Chain A
């Protein structure tokens, strides 16, 4: 390892702080970095005067889109040393390979495309509500006017893909909020690099002056007990694992709302029509490979357990085997900027897969199993016992006689379900939603994030706003 000794700055509303650095170990990759001790800067970091938010209301939404668009142009690492450094450190810490990361960083400008952001803001909040008091006629002698205001929020962003930091910056700007981004140890630099780019671009701009980026070790009570009070913030937006969300929940109190982007897992349901002919089967396998192998299966959106209506009798299991082979080949054939061999194998998962391979074919058949990934074909109507560990491009195909079986397996922890064919999706959608599923997609489209703003039934855009109503009594 040649890269070490990274310095992660503390950015507070346009000011870059590098003093009082303390050392931190990273998550995986064996990197370490230094960052200023946030506890020493809490007085500055917390925005205890809401009145200082008013500068954001002097901006028109189109100016915000223009600002973000210009920021986007400056982000690709090929022309931005801050982002180049963030990319380099990610290569050590991320579960994504360098090719995938390079493509993500170089294409960050697309995430800030004004057309795309306008669509997201319009669909999720409504630009009128961001710009004006929108009149809502009511029965009787009352008129209501509603406007979406920004909030002071701490964002605990996830480190599995750098896009989460950029998305947070964009949402913060569009909702006219004040964000303190707490960066993760497995991506300690991306958010700070974006903030520094904003400072280089427009140091006194209100959008620059309402973004702070800090690293502290999650759970550091010296920081969190003082920062997470209703005098300092109104929202906590937390991406993260079970432990992290449970930990943060203890700070939720009257005056602080938790927007929890909880840990989720996704799955797939494939109807019997897939076995109509070899060509169809190959097409379905190709689409599944995208859902399961895209982004190296690092995302919550990725397929893991795949329910296949192949039948569970001998002929059904043979059909499943044929399909498994095609899926394995399709994953191996994915282009390197989308998917590649595991960067860091989860040893617990690798042990489980190897034990299944040694154990014979009675309950599970396994294709592959090294860094390249694997397809495990259950020989009964059940996923593997270690299904929550599935990653590193390991898919578990589960044969079923009836699609009712996967419907029963859906819980509130099920995020995306890719379904083929479309007719099956329409047939199952109400039942799946009632059981807890949150996003039903055409097979092969799980990894995208379209601009409807819904995101796992959480509606983070809307919930980042404070929805304020003015009521006017008209004379009778």
Chain B
């Protein structure tokens, strides 16, 4: 395409649009609404306000078609889904609520024998994982692998499957596979979440550095986003990612600490029975952790110094933002970043008690007016944004269910109900993305005060697991804390 004469710096609109897309990944694009029933993942690419303002009836129609299609596509490839459907006597999905019987419990993602890890049978662990993803794992090289961390890398490298693992308080980690198809939407998902309701789609993000209050390498939802930013947005420029800890959030550390604690409670196992190879790695992690406080201090010094007044991006929970604001207060810093910076906040306060007024003082410290809050979980590819009326709204590829906490029966799809949150993320193609959560929510099917259709959730969300013993949620934000706790536990063991 050639422009002539003095018009040289103005390209025709279409070309300009194309250039913008080439320059910046993850931006919305023109999509064909007629394709949504067959390709619900396409809805990802329409502008956020368009997705949110789709009428509930239309969304239901698309979702019913899409969930049938996903079920039929995946049933014959994923034995656990086939077995569940057969146990539930489901051969077809007549209504949306029929699909509630097809939600996996979280335990499906940790149904492997833990001895496969203890005996370094990563070949068989891969075989187990292959029941949960449509991606071909037969080329994953597991020879010589002696740690979960190396296995996670191998599955990612050889099959493009990025595993999301739990923090594993029980010692047994859940492994949730995300395939290449989902990876291609990871960046888009982050941008949707960063945008928030009622604001324009952010652009120019390829020039905006990302602050990570965690480890540089993490096999969780947060870490998957960091990788997508690095490769798809920053074109591999590591300098754009400022991670507090340059090291890795080790799945082995999390798993081993939990296993030893559980075994210790049963009087079965001590540190003396752990293999020397693992112990050497652990000692290195423990040594690195001892430098934690000094490293945190240096990290905050550096970002306050280098990034003051700049536009930045960050994801976190209230506790993380609070920690950062505290560090700023101690240094006499306030209103630190540019007002068009992008902060998203998910996962609540993670059980921490924050000082009164934190909802005002933290945004003030960051230099923004309101912190953009969302609800979601790593089993979903995107988060649910919060509207002006204070409700979390479903995006049209999220088929939500409100379940009776005892029986699992879905509530009628009208009115307001309190119970267990369940979802099928219809944008996910390589895994059956139907899951029962551990969260108690209040969900409304109907019109929200903000003018958008539901379903939407109240902000008062609580974990059932406190009643059920042990919290093993897949979390992004809590993981570094769990890692620190695990290391502290291991350091104290003899």
Q: Which residues of A approach B to under 8 Å, CB–CB? A: 242, 347-348, 351-352, 354-360, 362-363, 380, 382, 384-385, 388, 411-413
Contact = CB atoms under 8 A, between A and B. Distances in A.
B102 to A, nearest CB: 11
- Of the four ranges (under 10, 10 to 19, 20 to 34, 35 or more), the interface on chain B belongs to 20 to 34
B113 A348 contact: no
B111 A359 contact: yes
B172 A385 contact: yes
Contacts of B111: 352, 355-356, 358-359
A16 B266 CA distance: 41
A352 B107 contact: yes
Nearest to A358: B80
Contacts of B108: 355, 358-359
A146 B76 CA distance: 77
B273 interface: no
The 10 closest A-B pairs by CB, nearest first: A355-B107, A355-B111, A358-B80, A359-B111, A351-B107, A351-B105, A358-B83, A385-B114, A355-B108, A360-B79
B110 A355 contact: yes
Interface in B433-460: none
B265 interface: yes
A360 B107 CA distance: 14
A380 B116 CA distance: 11
Contact of A354 (B79, B105, B468): B105
A357 B469 CA distance: 22
B113 A355 contact: no
B492 interface: no
Determine which residue in B79, B114, B266 has the highest number of CB atoms from chain A within 10 A of its CB, and name it.
B266
15 contacts: A348-B469, A351-B107, A354-B105, A354-B107, A355-B110, A356-B111, A359-B79, A359-B112, A359-B128, A359-B131, A360-B83, A362-B128, A384-B113, A411-B266, A413-B268
A450 B58 CA distance: 70
A242 B265 CA distance: 8
Given A385-B113, A411-B268, A355 B105 contact: yes
A283 to B, nearest CB: 31
B131 A360 contact: yes
A356 B109 CA distance: 10
Contact of A351 (B80, B106, B113, B127): B106
Given A348-B470, A363-B112, A411-B266, 14 more contacts: A351-B105, A351-B106, A354-B105, A354-B107, A355-B80, A358-B108, A359-B80, A359-B128, A360-B80, A380-B113, A382-B115, A388-B266, A411-B267, A412-B267
Nearest to B82: A358
A355 B131 CA distance: 12
Contacts of B110: 355
Residue from the set B113, B127, B468 with the largest chain A CB neighbour count within 10 Å: B113
B87 interface: yes
A281 to B, nearest CB: 27
A177 B268 CA distance: 37
A388 B265 CA distance: 11
A124 B113 CA distance: 44
Contacts of A348: 468-470
B84 interface: yes
A397 to B, nearest CB: 15
A400 to B, nearest CB: 14
Interface string B463-477: 000001110000000
Contacts of B80: 355, 358-360
A384 B108 CA distance: 14
Given A242-B265, A358-B83, A360-B83, A382 B113 contact: yes
Contacts of A380: 113, 115
B83 A347 contact: no
A245 to B, nearest CB: 12
Nearest to A387: B266
A382 B113 CA distance: 9
A13 to B, nearest CB: 38
A360 B108 CA distance: 11
Contact of B113 (A242, A354, A360, A363): A363
B113 A357 contact: no
Nearest to A265: B266
Contacts of B265: 242
Contacts of B104: 358
Contacts of A384: 113
B83 A413 contact: no
